[in-house]
């Protein structure tokens, strides 16, 4: 499959060996996306989160193990390098619990490929939901593009390994079940 970067982008199920590379993508994507002057959220605070915490890596490995059929991890690879990933979980709703790309590959259709995998995998009898930081206007547009609507405010909770005074306001967007 050829994408707009002119490189082959392969979407596959993540494996346990991918865990560290996935966490590195998560970190780079956060650094590029989450700083917010108004809320006082700085790049430095994001950089110094405990990204290589063994629990974080272990939970990614558990997801990749495929033991739980209600959870799935997809990775986007460009020439064997992981450039993005997404995580889906089927609970009361189909939850897109993560979708992150390296900053340099954003806006080229890779997020669409990952989202399509999630939507095809999701239980068609259930709504799909995603929680997003309320100030990420571009990301909210991306979800709207796929039919996610609304902005249900979620309780403000502490972000793990983040200064307690810095809260990230989250909203929940929902795409109604078709079935």
> Which residue ranges make up the site for ligand COA (CB under 6 A)?
29, 33, 99-101, 106-112, 132, 136, 138-139, 141-142, 145
Cα separation, 137 vs 71, in Å, equals: 27
- CA distance readout (Å), 125 to 21, 73, 176, 179: 33, 21, 9, 5
How far apart are CB 140 and ligand COA at their closest, in Å?
9
Question: How far apart (Å, rounded) are the C-alpha atoms in residues 22 and 14?
Answer: 9
**On the CB side of 161, how many CA atoms lie within 13 Å of its CA?**
13
Handedness of CA 95, 117, 106, 147 (dihedral sign): negative
**In terms of CB distance, is 125 or 153 closer to ligand COA?**
153
Nearest distance from C-beta of residue 61 to ligand COA, angstroms:
21
Closest distance to ligand COA from the beta carbon of 57 (Å): 20
Q: Which is nearer to ligand COA, 47 or 65 (CB)?
A: 47
> Shortest approach of ligand COA to residue 142 CB, angstroms?
4
């Amino acid at each position: 499959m050829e994408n707009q970067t002119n490189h082959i982008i392969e979407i596959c199920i993540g494996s346990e060996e991918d865990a560290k590379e996935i966490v590195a993508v998560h970190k780079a994507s956060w650094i590029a996306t989450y700083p917010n002057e108004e809320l006082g959220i700085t790049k430095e605070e994001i950089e110094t989160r405990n990204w290589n915490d063994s629990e974080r890596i272990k939970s990614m490995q558990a997801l990749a193990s495929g033991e739980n059929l209600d959870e799935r991890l997809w990775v986007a690879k460009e020439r064997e390098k992981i450039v993005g990933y997404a995580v889906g979980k089927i609970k009361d709703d189909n939850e897109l619990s993560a979708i992150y790309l390296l900053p340099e590959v954003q806006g080229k259709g890779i997020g669409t490929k990952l989202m399509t995998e999630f939507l095809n995998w999701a239980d068609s009898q259930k709504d799909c939901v995603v929680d997003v930081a309320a100030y990420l206007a571009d990301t909210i547009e991306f979800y709207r593009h796929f039919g996610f609507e609304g902005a249900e405010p979620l309780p403000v909770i502490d972000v793990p390994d983040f200064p307690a005074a810095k809260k990230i306001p989250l909203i929940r967007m929902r795409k109604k079940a078709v079935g």
